[in-house]
Structure formats: C-alpha cells, structure tokens
Amino acid sequence: MDFSIASILLLDGLTNGAIYALLGMCLVLVFTVTRIIFIPQGEFVAYGALTLAIFQTGQVPGTVWLLLILAAVAALMDLVAVWRHRGRAAPALLAALRTFLPSAVIAGISAWAAPRGLPMLLQALLTVGIVTCFGPLVYRVAYQSLAGASTLVLLIVSVGVHFAMTGLGLLFFGAEGFRNPPFWDMRLPMGPLNVSGQALVIFGMSAVLIVVLWLFFERTLYGKALRATAVNRLGARLMGISTSSAGHLTFALAAFIGALSGLLIGPTTTIFYDSGFLIGLKGFVAAVIAGLASYPGALVGALSVGVIEAFGSFWASAFKEVIVFTIILPVLLWRSLASGHSDEEH
C-alpha cells in the first residue's frame, strides 16, 4: 500500500461515510425523541433512489400509489380516533382531511409529471416530496398508538415495518437494480486522486444538512420542542408540547434525510429494492458508537465506519462486513464499562 492507494481508499470511505453519517444522525434523532430504534431508515434511502430511477424511465413510480393508500389508512385512523374522542363528525372529518391532503397533492403532481420527462432536478424534488410524506404516515399507522410501549415492543414493530417496506419495494421496483445519472458529471484530477463531481455533491450536501439540522435544533421553536421531548417526554408534555406531533415531525425529518441520502448515493452505486437495509445498518453502527445520543459522535462514528469499510475491502474483501460489524463490540464494551449503569427505561 502506497500513498496514492491509501488516498483513494480514504476518499471512497469518506464518501460512503458521509451517507452513513446522515442516516446515523437520523437514527439518533428518532431514538432520542420517540425511543424507536428505526430499522427501516435504510428503506427510505432505497425508496428515494428507486423512485427517482422510475421517474427517469417516464413511468409513475409505485411509491405514489403506496403513498395514497397509506395516507387513506392514516386518515381513516385519524377519523375514528377524533370521532371517538370528540363525538362529532365535523372535526373528525377535518382531521382526516388534514392527514390525507398533502399526500394526495404530491401524488397528484407526481402522476401528472411522470410521463412529461421534466428536468432531473424537478424529478428529484418530487421524489423527496413523496418519500418525506411517508415518514409521518408510517409513524401514524405503525407507531403512534404504541408511543408509550417499551423500547423492545417498538423495536419489534420496526422489524415488521422493515419487512413490509422491503416487500413492497420488491413489488414496486422489481428485482433488478438501478443506477441514477450523476447530478454533477465532472472529474477533478488531484494527483493520484480522481475526485468525481458526485462525491463533491455528497460532501457538500452532507455538510449543509448537518449545519441546517444544527440551526434547526438551536434556533427554531420546533427544534427546541423536539430537544425538550428528547430530554424528558413527560416534562415536555407538561409544558404543552404534543409528543405525537413531535413524533410526526421527527419521522418527516428522518424520511426527508433518507430520501436525500438515496438521491446522493444513487449515482455512485447500483441500488436494489433491498439495498437500503445494509446502508441503514451501517448508519446504525455509527449511531451505536455515539451511544444513540450524540450527533457529533454519530458523525465521527459514521466516517470511521466508511473508512474502515474501504480499507477492510482492500485487505480482506471476503470479511469486509464482518470487520465493519465487529467494531461495534469493543465500542459497546467500552461504553458499558465507562458509564457503569443502565438507564434505558425511564
């Protein structure tokens, strides 16, 4: 191994690490606010990349129909819940409509736009819109009624949601993979390195997202509400913060970042309907390194996962995944020795 090989590996590792970082931070966010270990995070990545790929072929992606069905189910649940609670039809219908309308609008625009061959940037925008709508709906349908359940129950629900979403992905996108065209088709020779435009887009977008997330949590009311919920659910409720709308917002953020990650990674690799799981799992390793609690920790963890993965593939490609997933063991050992006590249920 010489310097040029090491630098190529480092670049490759950091490019993938940047994506893992986004997913790792999503997992930390979802866990701190809702106590859900969100295994299906990776599915949003696959849905994002593949929805754009189907748009590129000029067809209406199956996710559009799924969105409509899911929105209808969620609206029905809202209708029943509000009706039972208030006993009147008008507010119940209003609540249902409020759940259904945004998804219906996005689905309508998508169905109209799909055969028209719009520029890729607009298609990407629509894709992000579609997948972001999935977030709150998934929370409403699968998790909201269980919000008070134990972490273990929520984890089991996550596994179920993961399998459902992977299966639906196979139905909508088929068994073959897609590779999207790059957003920025450029090559920048730097010594032995050949930096692609897409890698720069990935680094740039990740950095921007991280800064925006930081601003969101530090400067906005919603962000502060989410942080308050993360610190103490009961306290936040006593202060008038709705934990269910905190859940919706968190899932919308998670789906948004997932979709964006999908768009970023789509041009650098072939994405299959089930690719998301492994990508999400590596984000999860990063989140665990951060103790499912610290954003900078998740960032550092994700970048090291990416770099270890790249060097692991170089030295022992057959054992690459083993190497990546084994680093979680010393980290867990160190964390449990360092903290010394367990406070998972409070």
* Site residues (vs another protein, CB under 8 A): 5, 8-9, 12, 15-16, 19, 170, 175-179, 194, 265, 268-270, 272, 274-275, 277-279, 310-314, 317-318, 320-321
Taking phi over 0 as left and psi of -120 to 50 as alpha, with beta for the rest, 291 belongs to left
CB of 307 to another protein, least distance (A): 11
Structure tokens at 251: 């899932």
CB of 268 to another protein, least distance (A): 7
Please identify, using beta-carbon distances, which residue of 33 and 279 lies nearer to another protein: 279
Structure tokens at 40: 């299906």
- Tokens 């299906």 found at: 40
Structure tokens at 206: 């990740």
Please identify, using beta-carbon distances, which residue of 178 and 295 lies nearer to another protein: 178
Helix (H, G, I), strand (E, B) or coil at 346: coil
* Distance from C-alpha of 165 to C-alpha of 334, rounded to nearest angstrom: 34
Structure tokens at 168: 């639906």
CB of 68 to another protein, least distance (A): 25
Please identify, using beta-carbon distances, which residue of 112 and 319 lies nearer to another protein: 319
Q: How many beta carbons lie within 10 A of that of residue 317, not counting itself?
A: 9
In terms of DSSP H, where are the helices of the chain? 3-34, 41-56, 62-86, 89-113, 120-138, 151-173, 197-219, 221-231, 233-238, 243-265, 275-289, 295-315, 320-326, 328-339
Q: Where does residue 215 rank: exposed (0-12), middle (13-18), buried (19+ CB within 10 A)? A: exposed
CB of 209 to another protein, least distance (A): 18
Please identify, using beta-carbon distances, which residue of 78 and 309 lies nearer to another protein: 309
CB of 14 to another protein, least distance (A): 11
DSSP per-residue codes, 46-97: HHHHHHHHHHHTTS--HHHHHHHHHHHHHHHHHHHHHHHHH--HHHHHHHHH
Please identify, using beta-carbon distances, which residue of 249 and 285 lies nearer to another protein: 285
CB of 57 to another protein, least distance (A): 10
Please identify, using beta-carbon distances, which residue of 91 and 182 lies nearer to another protein: 182
CB of 65 to another protein, least distance (A): 21
- Tokens 């409020």 found at: 98
Please identify, using beta-carbon distances, which residue of 194 and 232 lies nearer to another protein: 194
CB of 8 to another protein, least distance (A): 6
Please identify, using beta-carbon distances, which residue of 78 and 274 lies nearer to another protein: 274
Q: Which of 224, 274, 248 is nearest to 50 (CA)?
A: 274
